[in-house]
Amino acid sequence: MARINTLAIIGVGLIGGSLSLALKASGSVGRVVGVGRSRANLDEALKLGIIDDVVSIEVAAKADVIFVATPVAQMGTIFGALKPHLGAASIITDGGSTKQDVLAAAQSNLGDRVGAFVPAHPIAGTEKTGASAAFPTLYRDRKVVICRHDSVDPEAVNRVSDMWTAAGANVFPMTAKAHDDVFAAVSHLPHLLAFALVDMLAASPSADDYFKFAASGFRDFTRIAAGSPEMWRDISAANRVALRQQLADYRARLDAFDQWLAGGEARDIEQIEASFSRASHARNAWQRHIEHGESMPRLGAGGQEE
């Protein structure tokens, strides 16, 4: 791949910092410069060798590749600040968890330079934040979704793909709309569901007993409810159209469960078992897939294997 002479990272936390460390480790980048709001965090990033310099956003705009790794709600403002100073061959990409809103923000704020923007989402992270949480192998064998759009420069897509490959990741193309639907289903909805349950139990007069007797199943089910409220608020708001669609399907399923439980006849209980059984079958197949690389059964069409 073509080496990146200068990489600018805007928001030098776990996501941005780990990309720098991965590219440095593979010799794929020359100089890395950082932009951020917290001087203490930037000093930490300098000390850890994540960035070589702290620069202004005007200087960052001249880099070969500019990686925007801030919360998605801030990206529109950042694109607007980059635009007037952007280098003629500079490429912009991001690491946000939602893509239609980020693409719309780029279209509004980058104007005739939107072709230089490549929306991307690395599927990796930990519960930790800040430059000190970054490590060079965060992206090894992880997936990165890259979303082409109508006006994107194909050469910019290739450079961003190569960058992520050099960082150890596997790149998957997807439209921004398909991306947001998939992650509403497998990430944003589960987070909302876990937050909703823990908030409900904490608000109950029986809260003390609930948390006293909660065990390992509860621990795993609610682990994602320990996440950052601000980050998940932003993601929920940014992807609210797709999230509401998934939530509507899910609420309809809970309505059905309630009717079966209310009925309580043998045919109702059979429906409950049938749903549990399809879920258990799919979940166990997926576990074997992620652990041992077994192929997934064909799902869909009512949850039946074909």
The footprint of its own copies on residues 115-174 (CB under 8 A) is 123-124, 143, 145, 172
Instruction: For the chain, give percent helix, strand, coil, nearest 5.
Output: 60, 10, 30
- Told to check if 2 binds its own copies by CB under 8 A, we report no
Q: What angle do CA 180, 184, 186 make, to 5 degrees?
A: 120
Number of residues that bind its own copies (CB under 8 A): 96
DSSP 16-79: HHHHHHHHHHTT-EEEEEEE-S-HHHHHHHHHTTS-SEE--HHHHTTSSEEEE-S-GGGHHHHH
State which residue, 57 or 185, has the beta carbon closest to its own copies: 185
State which residue, 48 or 299, has the beta carbon closest to its own copies: 299
State which residue, 54 or 247, has the beta carbon closest to its own copies: 247
Q: What is the dihedral of CA 83, 88, 89, 92, to 10 degrees?
A: 0
Q: What is the nearest approach in angstroms of its own copies to the Cβ of residue 8? A: 27
Q: What is the nearest approach in angstroms of its own copies to the Cβ of residue 19? A: 18
- Residue 245: Cβ within 10 Å count: 15
- Told to check if 221 binds its own copies by CB under 8 A, we report yes
Site mask, its own copies, residues 175-204, x = CB under 8 A?
---x--xxx-xxx-xxxxxxxxxxxxxxxx
Q: What is the dihedral of CA 94, 95, 101, 102, to 10 degrees?
A: -10
State which residue, 88 or 262, has the beta carbon closest to its own copies: 262
Using CB under 8 A, pick the residue from 84, 141, 248, 267 that binds its own copies. 248
Q: Which stretch binds its own copies (CB under 8 A): 8-16, 108-116, 146-154, 260-268?
A: 260-268
State which residue, 114 or 243, has the beta carbon closest to its own copies: 243
Using CB under 8 A, pick the residue from 229, 267, 293, 306 that binds its own copies. 229
Residue 228 in contact with residue 184, Cβ under 8 Å?
Answer: no
Q: What is the nearest approach in angstroms of its own copies to the Cβ of residue 272? A: 5
Q: What is the nearest approach in angstroms of its own copies to the Cβ of residue 258? A: 6
Number of C-alpha atoms within 13 angstroms, CB side, residue 235? 23
- Told to check if 224 binds its own copies by CB under 8 A, we report yes
- Residues within window 283-302 making contact with its own copies, judged by CB under 8 A: 283-284, 286-287, 289-290, 296, 298-302
Measured on CA atoms in the order 187, 239, 127, 207, is the torsion positive or negative? negative
Q: In 3-state terms, what secondary structure has residue 1?
A: coil
